[in-house]
Amino acid sequence: MKIFKKASELEPNLVSIKDKGQSIGLVLTMGNLHDGHLSLIREAQLHNEFVICSIFINPTQFNNENDFNSYPKTIDEDISKLENIGCNALFLPDIQEIYPKGLAKKKIVNNFRNILCDKFRPGHFDGVTTVVDLFFNMIKPTNSYFGEKDFQQVKIIQDLVKINHHNIKIIQCPSVRDKTGMSLSSRNSKFSNDQLKIFDVLGNKIKEHINLLKQNEINNLDQLKIEFLQNNINKIDYLEIRNENNLEITKNYSEARLFIALYIGEIRIIDNFKLY
Ligand code: PAF
């Protein structure tokens, strides 16, 4: 696998692939790769001749310095995983390469804002769209693959592509889930043993309540909230049922998902679950 640290070194390679009429699949990541990321790479490999992954922990999308500094970094393991899976290239820029004029972000997308994570992490999505826009301009892939765990992020990136006229197809891919049904996440690698136990309880409680909601045996999330609080989850950002197309609150479950964001200790967990 070729590793590129500079966009100027990457560009001639990408041009020669495009000149051959081949398609480029891009998977953007912040590293600490798990099976969720690898499933995005596999999906990209199915539909593109050339697959490139990027690893860049983007400072402008973090709400505080501590969270940014403590984000898990496992670059050697990540490179081995990418080599094993047969990824063609890794783009591994440093901060200076991506933000040569200093850290800055701008608001590009106005839809799907002021709700869900945007309400609790102001500016986060401006950091995400700023960096994704930069990557799209540098790499100009044919297709780019994003996991549904970050559902609001996918919606906002789909809008970004329209607003900035990127000729890129955004492919939304289902989460890879653990045994209790929770989506895999890089942040989960930071759990202590006790926190892992709480996470398992959380997964089982959610699964139980999703089944009750689907069978119309309950029609609200009050009991689930109580059970979270009884199980050491003391900070819940949101627990809401929204339509998966427009992200509006709904009581009609035919196109709805349960969206959650909560904390185990200092670790923030977000996930969403189909209700149909
Ligand atoms: O989903 C992520 O890991 C990040 O938000 C992304 C898309 C790589 C942008 O930094």
Looking at residue 224, its amino acid is L
CATH number (domain holding residue 198): 3.30.1300.10
Closest residue CA from atom 3 of ligand 1: 29
Closest ligand 1 atom, CA of 135? 9
Q: Do 156 and 210 belong together in one domain?
A: no
Residue 144 sits in a domain whose CATH number is 3.40.50.620
Residue 180 domain-assigned (yes or no): no
Cβ atoms 92, 5 nearer than 8 A: yes
For residues 33 and 99, membership in a common domain is answered with: yes
Q: Are residues 161 and 236 in the same domain?
A: no
Of 148, 173, 198, the domain-final residue = 173
42 and 144, same domain (yes or no): yes
DSSP 216-235: TS--SSHHHHHHHHHTT--E
Same domain, residue pair 163 and 103: yes
The CA distance from 224 to 205, in Å, is: 7
d(Cα 24, Cα 90) in Å, to the nearest integer? 13
Comparing C-alpha atoms, which of 185, 183, 189 is closest to residue 74? 189
Residue identifier of the C-alpha nearest atom 5 of ligand 1: 128
Residue 234 pLDDT? 82
> 136 and 43 share a domain?
yes
pLDDT for residue 63: 94
- The SS3 of residue 94 is coil
What are the tens digits of pLDDT across the range 36-88? 999 999 999 999 999 999 999 999 999 999 999 999 999 999 999 999 999 99
Judgement on whether residues 34 and 164 belong to the same structural domain of the protein = yes
Q: Are 30 and 147 in contact (CB under 8 A)?
A: no
> Which tens digits make up the pLDDT trace of 222-246?
999 999 999 999 899 999 999 999 9
The residue from 138, 173, 208 where one domain ends is 173
> Which residues lie closer than 8 Å to 180 by C-beta, 6 or more apart?
199, 200, 202, 203, 204, 206, 207
Cα 29 to averaged position of ligand 1 atoms, centre (Å): 5
Q: Which two tokens stand for residue 255?
A: 């196109």
Task: Identify the domain containing residue 101 by its residue range.
Answer: 2-173
Residue 179 has φ and ψ, to the nearest 5°, of: -65, -25
Residue 62 lies in a domain: yes
pLDDT digits (tens, 9 = 90+) for 120-160: 999 999 999 999 999 999 999 999 999 999 999 999 999 99
* 109, 136: one domain: yes
Q: Which of 148-152, 186-190, 195-199, 239-243 has the lowest mean pLDDT?
A: 186-190
Same domain membership, residue 102 and residue 134: yes
User: pLDDT averaged over the chain?
Assistant: 97
Do 52 and 142 fall into the same domain? yes
Q: What is the pLDDT of residues 81-122, one digit of tens each?
A: 999 999 999 999 999 999 999 999 999 999 999 999 999 999
* 210, 214, 217, 221: CA torsion to nearest 10: 40
Is 227 within the bounds of a domain?
yes
Q: Is the dihedral of CA 128, 6, 49, 81 positive or negative?
A: negative
What is the distance in A from the centroid of ligand 1 to the CA of 61?
Answer: 9
Best probe residue, ligand 1, of 132, 134, 144, 151 (max atoms within 8 Å of C-beta) = 132
What are the distances in angstroms from CA 189 to CA 21, 31, 112, 154? 40, 12, 29, 23
